[in-house]
């Protein structure tokens, strides 16, 4: 959102959030941006904080669609806007990723210092000429330094996005594996109890066909009523076979 409107209060964002109250604070900042720019969408904070795959995926898809539609284009200094804060990690100084300043000496700086020192010591014409030549060799790095910060920022943003997506992919994959194990366990329990109920059903049918007294017949019918009873709102699928249970 900040890359679109450039007015998100980044100082209020907790980039290294680890606790629930920090996540809630960040969502409040984002919701305030939505309200300010009249974005008709409410952030499902509780569902997102439960880290459910479907909820997070849908919200990310909406964010991506909104960004594609409204991003004004042009370069965006994300690291500068965050004051050097790294998402999900430690802080780092913004100046640490900047390209050399035009005032910083290039590869020939050692030669310049040595030549200048010799010039002051001996004040010879040869030393002065050597120092002048060394200064000229630093011109290309100074000219190239102008495009350095922009390229470095773009590389840093790209690398950061890749790392963030990889982290999300890993988390979602882990959640899917956990859900798969849960489903398998539920299916095993379902089959177990189904087989038990089927045995009871066959037993009742066998005894009923063999002939029983009225008292036992009434008891078996009560058991069958319990077995075939369904919860309110439950509907048997139309494609289901007309089995006894």
Q: What pLDDT was estimated at residue 88?
A: 62
What are phi and psi for residue 185, nearest 5 degrees? -65, -40
pLDDT in tens, 9-57: 888 888 888 888 888 888 889 899 999 898 988 888 888 888 878 888 8
Query: Could you tell me the pTM of the whole model?
Result: 0.35
Residues 6+ apart with CB under 8 A from 6: 81
Coil, strand, or helix at residue 202?
A: helix
- Burial grade of 17 (CB within 10 A; 0-12, 13-18, 19 or more): middle
Which of 72, 99, 103, 90 is CA-nearest to residue 154? 99
Catalogue the long-range contacts made by 173-178 (C-beta closer than 8 Å, 24 or more residues apart): 175/51, 175/52, 175/53, 176/53
Q: What is the pLDDT of residues 97-142, one digit of tens each?
A: 343 344 444 444 444 344 444 444 444 444 444 444 444 444 445 4
The alpha carbons of the chain give a radius of gyration, in whole angstroms, of 36
From the list 207, 201, 214, the residue with the least C-alpha distance to 243 is: 201
Burial (CB count within 10 angstroms: exposed 0-12, middle 13-18, buried 19+), residue 81: middle
64-93 tens-digit pLDDT: 999 898 888 888 888 888 887 777 654 444
Please, which pLDDT band fits residue 170 given cuts at 50, 70 and 90? Answer: very high
Contact 107, 37 (CB under 8 A): no
């Amino acid at each position: 959102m900040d890359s679109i409107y450039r007015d998100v209060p980044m100082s209020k964002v907790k980039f290294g959030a680890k606790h629930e109250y920090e996540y809630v604070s960040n969502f409040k900042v984002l919701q305030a941006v939505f309200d300010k720019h009249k974005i008709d969408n409410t952030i499902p904070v509780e569902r997102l904080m439960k880290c459910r795959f479907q909820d997070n995926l849908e919200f990310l898809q909406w964010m991506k669609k909104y960004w594609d539609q409204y991003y004004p284009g042009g370069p965006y200094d994300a690291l500068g806007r965050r004051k050097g804060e790294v998402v999900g990690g430690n802080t780092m100084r913004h100046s640490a990723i900047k390209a050399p300043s035009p005032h910083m000496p290039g590869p020939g700086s050692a030669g310049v210092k040595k030549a200048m020192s010799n010039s002051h010591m001996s004040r010879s014409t040869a030393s002065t000429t050597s120092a002048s030549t060394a200064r000229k060799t630093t011109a290309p790095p100074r000219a190239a330094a102008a495009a350095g910060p922009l390229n470095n920022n773009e590389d840093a943003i790209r690398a950061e996005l890749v790392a963030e997506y990889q982290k999300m992919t890993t988390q979602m994959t882990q959640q899917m594996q956990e859900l798969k194990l849960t489903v398998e366990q539920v299916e095993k329990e379902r089959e177990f109890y189904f087989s038990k109920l089927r045995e009871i059903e066959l037993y009742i049918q066998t005894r009923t066909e063999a002939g029983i007294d009225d008292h036992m017949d009434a008891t078996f019918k009560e058991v069958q009523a319990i077995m075939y009873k369904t919860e309110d709102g439950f509907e048997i699928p139309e494609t289901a076979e007309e089995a006894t249970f």
